[in-house]
Structure 1
Amino acid sequence: MSNILPNLETFAKGAFATAAGVSTVGAGLLWYGQNYLIYPSAFPPGSRTDVPIPSDFGLPYEDLVLHTPDGVTLRSYLLLQSKVLDNPQTAEIAFDRRETDEQFRASRPLVMMFHGNGGNHGHRIPLAKTFFLRMRCNVLMLSYRGYGKSDGEPSEAGLCTDAQAALDFVKSDPVLQQCPLVLYGQSIGGAVSIDLASRNPDSINALILENTFLSLPRLIPHALPALKHFSFLCHQKWDSASKVPLIPAKTPILMLSGLLDEVVPKEHMRQLWEIVASRGQKRKGNATTSSNNTKPGLERAKFIEFEDGDHNNTCVQPGYWQAVADFVASLAYMDTASSQKS
């Protein structure tokens, strides 16, 4: 892990805030120009053309070209496991010497990475490297439309379509469809993850959410205080608060929150956690009830706060990756326990 952290620190220093940094704009700009504020895909300069590749970090990969139903071409990365990887940082893992690389690959988790709203998916390769080498996960790094070298223009509907196209690809692949599927989303990528899981409740095995928000209209008073009275004009909703209850209580969720987050107030993650923990409760009017006085969603969910984590450096806080690794490793145990109960 010590060899991987320098790369993660480099990533954190170059990470990008969810808000575009604009503090005073007119209500008209909020309505007509909000896509440019919410999806600054050209920031920092060169992000549409200068896209790092996994081999720059010593990782084997495939260029994954996806075509969405509305005719947009996405240029993403796919990192696939082999029994033996030619990298000194690779974690040792037990496997049957008689199995093929494809059989080994099918037995490992597949992490679908949904990044934040600035930069491109190539800037997140150090994170993918940790999943790939330390946890021996397959990794699909999605490049949203209008980001990196993908075609199109970003929007809420568009990013949701892109995520679904990636999931459909996985479900159609004879090897990848066998992998436990984990969604990893940072900031707006957390909203993409929640939306995808809410629409495909039987296809997602687990979610990892970092510094994401209840909804964009509820984020505006903090991110753009001058426009707090015009939040109703925000047509890019990303209403995660209403979608989390659609994710089954049996789906494990790990939530990671930086208490110094200057973009997404910690209260957003805390309120999302309450909703996550309440999954599976029966509703009576405006109240929720549970037969055993516990929150069913708590059985497979965990919430961790990092005292010194801000919006961009939570992923390099002490204990972050150990928590992620423990969570990923626990998925096999959870599935085994469920099988024994049934």
Structure 2
Amino acid sequence: MPSLEDWAKGTFAATAGLSTLAVGLLYYGQSYLIYPSAFPPGSRTEVPTPDQYGLPYHHVELTAQDGVKLRCYLLSQAKKLPLAGATDVPFSGGLNDDEFAATRPTVIMFHGNGGNVGHRIPLAKVFYVKMRCNVLMVSYRGYGLSEGNPSEKGLKLDAQAALDYVKSHPALSQGPTVLYGQSIGGAVSIDLASRNPSAIDALILENTFLSLPNLIPSALPALGPFAFLCHQKWDSASKIHQIPHMTPVLMLSGTQDEVVPRDHMLGLWELVQKRDSKSASSVERKQKPSPRGSVPAVAIDVRSSSKFLEFPEGTHNDTCVQPGYWAAVAEFIGDLIHHKASNSE
């Protein structure tokens, strides 16, 4: 099976060549452009499963509020994982597997706009094996084997169905809930957190954007003057302030991103900081040299534990394999677990 790096290099760049499309297609056919669920070819029928990567899992069929069925994957933790490289968790004592799973964070994964949920299994494996998180891999409507057709309204319903499932689950509901979103999945995560402010414990956002209309001038320069025709808004910039300040956000930005310009992630980070009126005095910036393979540059909001990291060599699809990426995610998850444990004492 492909490695994490092979997957990153092979991910389809959904926005390539869109600048040749007519303005009429921007308005009437934009759902096909924004949600290319059939690409790469075979994505609607050939969906890898976690067991192909040696991972135990459950098929989970969620039903969104409008009746659309979503075929998702759940990787639920067990006290002992017979997997190479699995991290040991101390003090698990005499807990059974369900009780152990209840002590671990649950990561809800929202993927980008190309491919299907199966293409992201290498990412889920890191959360599951290295960080010992439960993982719910969400398959949007119109993607993979899920029913329906994708749209902003529909994906919002899908995300809510996933969160409701986690919060009603006897084990998953007990630990912290973390949203992990890449590209458009970041917009899905921000929207879900803004509508469920008390239900989300943390967000991890990679290479996402301020809004889709704001993205058009750079993604489709010829159509920039017609950005107002974009009815799929995903206006993350207007929703950050609805997420509680004490909900930490980890932002991971590839500075060589050819799809989402760096300014979008910087703009979102500025809005994260503004959630606190004292953010200007509580921000500590640490800049380090950024040759290839270096530790990423970091900005930290000390009060909220939110962090912004830049990866100098990261592009839209390979930021997740840059040096320091998963170490930063693991540290963020570890801090969240420690914070939750301290508050419960």
**Could you tell me the TM-score, scaled by structure 2's length?**
0.92
Are 2:207 and 1:211 equivalent residues in the alignment?
A: yes
Instruction: Name the aligned partner's letter for residue 330 of structure 2.
Output: A
Q: How far off is 1:337 after superposition?
A: 5.2
Are 2:9 and 1:17 equivalent residues in the alignment?
A: no
Are 2:111 and 1:115 equivalent residues in the alignment?
A: yes
Residues 27-42 of structure 1 correspond to what in structure 2 (within 5 A)? 27-42=23-38
Contact 1:66–1:165 (Cα < 8 Å) also in 2: yes
Cα distance between partner residues in 2 of 1:9 and 1:336 = 34
Contact 1:280–1:297 (Cα < 8 Å) also in 2: no
2:78 equivalent in structure 1: 82
Matched residue SS, 2:3: helix
Contact 1:279–1:297 (Cα < 8 Å) also in 2: no
Residues 114-193 of structure 1 correspond to what in structure 2 (within 5 A)? 114-193=110-189
Matched residue SS, 1:304: strand
1:104 equivalent in structure 2: 100
Identity %: 63
Q: 2:4 aligns with which of 5, 8, 14?
A: 8
Contact 2:79–2:92 (Cα < 8 Å) also in 1: no
Matched residue SS, 2:30: helix
2:232 equivalent in structure 1: 236
Contact 1:248–1:280 (Cα < 8 Å) also in 2: no
Instruction: Name the aligned partner's letter for residue 313 of structure 2.
Output: D
Cα distance between partner residues in 2 of 1:292 and 1:132 = 36
Say if 1:136 and 1:257 are closer, same or farther in 2 by CA, change over 3 A. same
Matched residue SS, 2:108: strand
Q: Which blocks of at least 5 consecutive residues in structure 2 are unaligned?
A: 284-299
- Higher RCO (CA-CA < 8 Å; seq separation 6+): 1
Cα distance between partner residues in 2 of 1:255 and 1:248 = 16
Divergent runs of 4+, >4 A: 295-298, 336-340
Instruction: Name the aligned partner's letter for residue 307 of structure 2.
Output: K
Q: How far off is 1:210 after superposition?
A: 0.2
Are 2:300 and 1:311 equivalent residues in the alignment?
A: no
Residues 316-339 of structure 1: CA distance to partner in whole angstroms, max 9, x if unpaired?
Answer: 000000000000000022235556
Are 2:335 and 1:335 equivalent residues in the alignment?
A: no
**Could you tell me the TM-score, scaled by structure 1's length?**
0.92
Cα distance between partner residues in 1 of 2:102 and 2:333 = 15
Instruction: Name the aligned partner's letter for residue 15 of structure 1.
Output: T
Q: 1:321 aligns with which of 315, 319, 326?
A: 326
Matched residue SS, 1:217: helix
Matched residue SS, 1:23: helix
Cα distance between partner residues in 1 of 2:87 and 2:336 = 18
Q: How far off is 1:18 after superposition?
A: 4.4
Q: Give the length in aligned residue pairs.
A: 328
Contact 2:15–2:33 (Cα < 8 Å) also in 1: yes
Contact 1:193–1:207 (Cα < 8 Å) also in 2: yes
Cα distance between partner residues in 1 of 2:279 and 2:114 = 44
Q: Which blocks of at least 5 consecutive residues in structure 1 are unaligned?
A: 282-289
Q: How far off is 1:97 after superposition?
A: 2.8
Cα distance between partner residues in 2 of 1:10 and 1:63 = 25
Say if 1:271 and 1:40 are closer, same or farther in 2 by CA, change over 3 A. same
Instruction: Name the aligned partner's letter for residue 325 of structure 2.
Output: Y
1:253 equivalent in structure 2: 249
Residues 176-210 of structure 1: CA distance to partner in whole angstroms, max 9, x if unpaired?
Answer: 11121000000000000000000000000000000
Instruction: Name the aligned partner's letter for residue 184 of structure 1.
Output: Y
2:289 equivalent in structure 1: none
Contact 1:18–1:116 (Cα < 8 Å) also in 2: no
Contact 1:83–1:95 (Cα < 8 Å) also in 2: no
Q: How far off is 1:28 after superposition?
A: 1.1
Contact 1:181–1:206 (Cα < 8 Å) also in 2: yes
Contact 1:20–1:37 (Cα < 8 Å) also in 2: no
Residues 189-247 of structure 1: CA distance to partner in whole angstroms, max 9, x if unpaired?
Answer: 00000000000000000000000000000000011111000000000000000001100
Matched residue SS, 1:322: helix
